[in-house]
Structure 1
Amino acid sequence: MEMAVQSKFTPWASLAGGVLIGLSAVMVMGLFGRIAGISGITGGFLGALVPMRGAPRDRDWRVAFLLGLVAAPLLMMLSGGTVAQSVPGNLGGMLAAGLLVGLGTALGSGCTSGHGVCGLARLSRRSLAAVVTFMAAGFATVFVLRHVLGTV
C-alpha cells in the first residue's frame, strides 16, 4: 500500500512557527498570568461579551490574541507568501468533527494548545493525561478512517 504525503517538509518554517507559539505562550503567562490555550482564550472572550456570573473581565488581550491568529496568515499573503490550506468537501463530517472537538475541549478542560504547549511545559500531570488522550484518539481516528473504512 502506498501512502500519499499531503504536506511538504518545511523544517525552518516549522521551527519558526514553534518558536513563535512558545514565545506567545510565555508572553501570555508573563504579562497576564494566563495559559495560552485557544479554547480558554475564546471562551473567556465570549464570556466577557455575554454577561454571566464568573465571566472574566480581561477582554482586551483576548481580542488582540484572537485577531493575531486571523491577521498572521493575512499578513503572510500580503507580503507575497502563500498559505496552503485544504478543506474537505464533506460538510457533515466537518460539522461532526467540530462538535466532537468542542465536546472534547469541554470534557478535557482545555485544548491541545493549552494542554500540549503550556500544560506540558509546566509539567502538569493533568495535561500529560490530556495530551496522551488526544494523541490516542487521533491515532485511532486515522487508523479507522484509513484502514477500516478506507475513506482517507
Structure 2
Amino acid sequence: MENFTPYLSLAGGVLIGISASILMYLNGRIAGISGIVAGVFNAPSFEEKAWRFAFVVGLVLGGAVYMHFFPITIAARESMSTILLIAGGLVVGIGTAMGSGCTRGHGICGISRFSLRSLVATATFLLSGIVTVYVFKQITGG
C-alpha cells in the first residue's frame, strides 16, 4: 500500500461524519447519496429538489476544487472495456435500488442510528466485495 494516508483518511472520515450530522440536525435528512440523487428527479416539491440539487452540485464542485489545489494523477487502465464499465455502473445502481440505499447511507447514517437493516446491508456489501475481489483474483491470476 504505497498510497496509505492515515491522517487524510481520518480527516475525510471526520468531515463525512460532521456533514452527515449537520444534514440530520438541520434538515432531519439522512445523507444517503442514492436517495438524494433520486430526489433531484422525483421529489414532490421544489424545495426538496433544490436542497438535493445543491448537495449534488456541492459534491461535484468540492471534488473539482480539491483537484485544482491538490492535483493527483490516477493511472488509467487502457484495457478497461467501456461496456464493462457501463455494465458495472448499472449493476451497482440496481443493487442500490434493491438494497434500499447506498453504502454511505447504510454504513454511515444507518449504523449510527442503530438500524438493524443498515447493519445487515453494510455487512452484505462488505462480504460481497471481499468475495468479488477473491473470485476475480482467482480468475485473472492477479
TM-score normalized by the length of structure 2: 0.89
Q: Which segments of 5 or more consecutive residues in structure 1 lack a partner in the other structure? A: 49-54
Q: CA RMSD in A?
A: 1.7
Shift in Å at residue 29 of structure 1?
0.7
Measured in 2, the distance between the counterparts of 1:126 and 1:136 equals 15
Cα pair 1:25 1:36 within 8 Å, conserved = yes
Structure 1 partner of 2:3: 8
- What does residue 51 of structure 1 align with? none
Give the superposition deviation at 1:78. 2.6
Partner of 1:67: 57
Offset of residue 85 of structure 1: 3.6
For 1:76 and 1:102, how far apart are their aligned partners in 2?
A: 26
SS of the equivalent of 2:140 reads coil
Q: Which amino acid aligns with 2:129?
A: G
Paired position in structure 1 for 2:133: 142
2:38 aligns to what SS in structure 1?
helix
Q: Percent identity?
A: 47
CA shift for structure 1 position 8: 0.3
AA aligned opposite 1:26:
S
2:27, 2:75 → 1: CA distance? 34
* Equivalent position SS for 1:36: coil
Aligned residues: 139
Are the structure 2 counterparts of residues 85 and 122 from structure 1 closer, same or farther at C-alpha, using a change threshold of 3 Å? farther
Alignment-mate amino acid for residue 74 of structure 1: A
1:46 aligns with 2:36: no
Q: Give me the whole-angstrom Cα distance separating, in 1, the residues matched to 2:72 and 2:25.
A: 30
Amino acid at match of 2:113: R
Residue type of the partner of 2:121?
A
Which runs of 5 or more residues in structure 2 are unaligned?
A: none
Q: Give the counterpart letter for 1:82 in structure 2.
A: P
After superposing on structure 2, the runs of 4+ consecutive aligned residues of structure 1 that deviate more than 6 Å are none
Is the 8 Å Cα contact of residues 37 and 110 (structure 1) preserved in structure 2? yes
Secondary structure of 1:8's aligned partner: coil
